[in-house]
Amino acid sequence: MKTAIYPGSFDPITNGHLDIIKRACYLFDKVIVCVAENPNKKYYFSASERALMVKESTKNLKSIEVITSKDLIVNEAKKHQACAIIRGLRAVSDFEFEFQLAAGNEFLDPEVEMVFLMTSPGMGFISSSNIKEFYSHGVDISKLVPQIVLDIFKSKKA
């Protein structure tokens, strides 16, 4: 059984993230979505809110597991016997960061492959940062995020 792990902040999960997850499901028998908990990063949503949004957004997909972690992703990959780490690329500007990350991960564990999936056409501009910015200015983000994200945004405003 081929398992891959897809790490990210998912602050919040977007339809771009879901596109990558769905496509990863075609390539691997199991996809573990790892919601990162980096103490050096400031999140809009708590780790439990982010994990809930991911779980709710992926509940209809087979072979998905959602975890949270403060550990290095290569350690999570080893722990879950994942053969690959999935990363999404939106634009050439993402490549340099992802290339450095891949090199670091290869140094830490050369047995775990980095698999890069390009975003689908029309989704390259979607980022969690853009979603939060758009929402804060009253932009309708309903076509860019799952319903659970809208619900949790609205509950924070209440």
pLDDT at 7: 97
95 pLDDT band, cuts 50/70/90, is confident
Mean pLDDT of 53-72: 96
Q: Give the three-state DSSP class for 67.
A: strand
For residues 86 and 115, what is the distance between their CA atoms, to the nearest angstrom?
A: 5
158 pLDDT band, cuts 50/70/90, is low
pLDDT at 46: 94
100: left (phi over 0), alpha (psi -120 to 50) or beta: alpha
For residues 44 and 72, what is the distance between their CA atoms, to the nearest angstrom?
A: 21
Which residues are marked as active site?
17, 41, 90, 128
pTM of the model as a whole: 0.93
Mean pLDDT of 79-93: 91
pLDDT at 148 over 80: yes
pLDDT at 92: 77
Domain ranges of the chain: 3-157
- 3-157: in CATH 3.40.50.620: yes
Of the listed ranges 27-36, 69-78, 86-95, 127-136, the least confidently predicted one is 86-95
